[in-house]
Amino acid sequence: MTTTQLAAMVLVGAGLALLGVGLLSRAYEREEQLADILDLPWGEQDVDLGAAIEQHSSIVETTVGAAGKLIEQVDAKGSLLSLLEQARLPVRPGEFVILVGSGAVVLAALLYAITSSIPFAVLAVVASPFLAVAFLRWRIAKRKRTFEEQFPDALTLIASSLSAGHTFLRSIQMMAEEAEGPLAEELSRVVSETQLGDPLVDALERMSARLDIKDVDWVVQAIRIQQTVGGKLADLLHTLADFIRAREEIRREVDVLTAEGRVSAYVLGALPVGLAVFIQMTNPGYLDPMFRGWGWFWLGSGLASILVGMGLILRMVKVEV
């Protein structure tokens, strides 16, 4: 492949990516203008309401609407919406599909430009949805780990605030104002739900369901029991914080002991794929027989064996604490 063709492929891929980002940025302009109106003190200044409620362009409406309807038909249970909410990505399912589609085209163009092989480009398009879901799950897992690290200290500070005479809701509100990362986001949402009239324990239960963390679920259940039978909430939170902190120490030790197995799974899984790409780059015609006839069967069998092997290794080193 010549340098001109390579540059053309890269420019086409980058253009498609910029097109997707541009469509989404246009789609968010109206929401941002309406948010500015809602944040203004009443009667502070005149706002061009007509411009704020102006509809999106027909291209944005059609594209996002079609993608959203497709997701509703394919994912009736709302699994993708739940993943986006847990990952705290400020996009709707239809917009996420558009971004993934643009990324798939860019990845396919880059692989074709590097390897000069259409099968590798097709493989990139097929693998893009799985990579996108894997990214969401990785972001959710990372967010959970950060929350688990912050949670014991947050319980201790809330308990200390209760001992100082503050109410439970006020203690949570102060924690939301002072904390960082996912803890502040989740506690702020709890406070907002209580301000709309929802009971505090119910808001905490919804937070536990969103996070899907056992420690948080145990704490919420303990708080509900305490609210029913009575007792000193500050002492209960101190005890729970010490218990969760001990579990976190054991979890870290297990992660250290199983790190070698996880790294081995990733290296062994990526090695055949990386080797195939390297061979195709250095000797473009060497793998051509694998893209004809029974070659597809052996390629599929090899990919399946790689995935099964990685799954078995990761399953073996996974220890529940």
The answer as to whether 183 is a domain residue is yes
Confidence of residue 23 (pLDDT cuts 50, 70, 90): low
Residues near 182 by beta carbon (within 8 Å), at least 6 away in sequence: 88, 143, 146, 147, 150
On whether both 97 and 148 belong to a single domain, the answer is no
Average pLDDT of the residues in 193-220:
89
So what's the pLDDT on residue 196?
87
Separation in Å, CA 84 to CA 60, 94, 152, 178, 291? 20, 11, 26, 25, 37
Determine the length of the chain. 321
So what's the pLDDT on residue 52?
46
So what's the pLDDT on residue 20?
59
So what's the pLDDT on residue 43?
47
So what's the pLDDT on residue 289?
83
Nearest alpha carbon to residue 88 among 36, 144, 134:
144
Instruction: Report yes or no: 94 and 64 within 8 Å, Cβ to Cβ.
Output: yes
Give the structural domain span for 240. 143-246
Instruction: Report yes or no: 172 and 160 within 8 Å, Cβ to Cβ.
Output: no
Query: What single DSSP character describes residue 317?
Result: T
Coil/strand/helix, residue 240: helix
On whether both 203 and 157 belong to a single domain, the answer is yes
Instruction: Give per-residue pLDDT as tens, 96-133.
Output: 887 888 888 888 887 777 777 787 788 888 888 888 88
Decide which of 246, 272, 296 is a domain's last residue: 246
Nearest alpha carbon to residue 55 among 75, 27, 23:
27
Return d(Cα 168, Cα 226) in angstroms, integer.
12
On whether both 239 and 282 belong to a single domain, the answer is no
Instruction: Give per-residue pLDDT as tens, 240-296.
Output: 999 888 888 888 888 888 888 889 999 988 898 888 888 888 887 788 888 888 888
So what's the pLDDT on residue 53?
46
Average pLDDT of the residues in 13-23:
60
Domain count, the chain: 3
So what's the pLDDT on residue 56?
46
The answer as to whether 57 is a domain residue is yes
On whether both 83 and 59 belong to a single domain, the answer is yes
| Poorest-pLDDT segment among 61-70, 177-186, 228-237 | 61-70
Average pLDDT of the residues in 30-59:
51
So what's the pLDDT on residue 29?
56
The answer as to whether 235 is a domain residue is yes
On whether both 171 and 238 belong to a single domain, the answer is yes
The answer as to whether 122 is a domain residue is no
* Burial track 297-320 (b if 16+ CB lie within 10 A, e otherwise): eebeeeeeebeeebeebbeebeee
Provide the H-helix boundaries in 88-117. 93-115
Instruction: Report yes or no: 201 and 224 within 8 Å, Cβ to Cβ.
Output: yes
On whether both 234 and 264 belong to a single domain, the answer is no
Instruction: Give per-residue pLDDT as tens, 210-252.
Output: 888 888 899 999 999 988 888 888 888 999 999 888 888 888 8
The predicted model scores a pTM of: 0.70
**What is the pLDDT of the chain when averaged over all its residues?**
79
Confidence of residue 180 (pLDDT cuts 50, 70, 90): confident
Return d(Cα 87, Cα 309) in angstroms, integer.
28
The answer as to whether 135 is a domain residue is no
Return d(Cα 195, Cα 33) in angstroms, integer.
24
The answer as to whether 275 is a domain residue is yes
Return d(Cα 11, Cα 270) in angstroms, integer.
28
On whether both 227 and 155 belong to a single domain, the answer is yes
